[in-house]
Amino acid sequence: MSLNSATNTPLNLFLGQSSTASNTAEDADTRNELMNIKNYIIRQNTSLNESNKNLISENASLTLQLESKEDELDTMETQIRYIKNELKNFVELRELEQCITNLTIKKESKTKDISKEYRKLLLFSIVFICVYKIFNLITLFTFAYNDVFNLDNVILIDFVHLFSIFCLPECLMHKYSNFYSKIKTTKQCIETIVESVKVKKEEMKKIEDSNSFIVKYIDNL
């Protein structure tokens, strides 16, 4: 026999009894055992497949829940961010309202100052007219009740006349100049206040529009 034929020849080993009946019984037991093992493996595979399907289904469900929660979290973060902006706008609105209130109070104070200046000018004009009339009456009284035309009467009349013509009008013009300067300055201040109030109200309108947009946007999230 060659080496190659010897190598390819199967080697059969037999253990235990060599009788046909014994081999048949062992083969039947082996088949039963193998069948039981096969059935067990099949059952285990079926159970594992079912468990795997359940796990896949649960994993998909958990993935969907996680994605839904992430979407909800993103929505909440967006809402919180916009709510913070809305609260910031409310704070700015409150500051603007306080600023407008202060400007309005200042404007009323300046308006009262103008009224006071007008009253002062009116009072000064009345006093001026009264003084002017008094000096005229003094002049008339001097002419009417003094028959003697002496130097004292001439000096008194000249003094009254000069004072009435130069001093009183000069005093009136000076007073009116001061009055006009104060009124002009106060009116300019009032105009500046009115313009500032207008700008603040426009800013408030923009912020209110922004808040309206934020509320609608949050509701639509």
What does the pLDDT read at residue 6? 42
3-state secondary structure of 15: coil
Asked if the model's pLDDT at residue 131 lies above 80, the reply is no
What does the pLDDT read at residue 35? 83
Specify whether the CB–CB gap between 172 and 128 falls below 8 A.
Answer: yes
Which pTM does this prediction carry?
0.56
What does the pLDDT read at residue 215? 77
The fold for domain 19-220 equals Helix Hairpins (1.10.287)
**What mean pLDDT comes out for the span 123-149?**
70
**What mean pLDDT comes out for the span 79-100?**
88
What does the pLDDT read at residue 144? 61
Between CA 116 and CA 122 the distance in angstroms is: 10
Q: Where are the domains of the chain?
A: 19-220
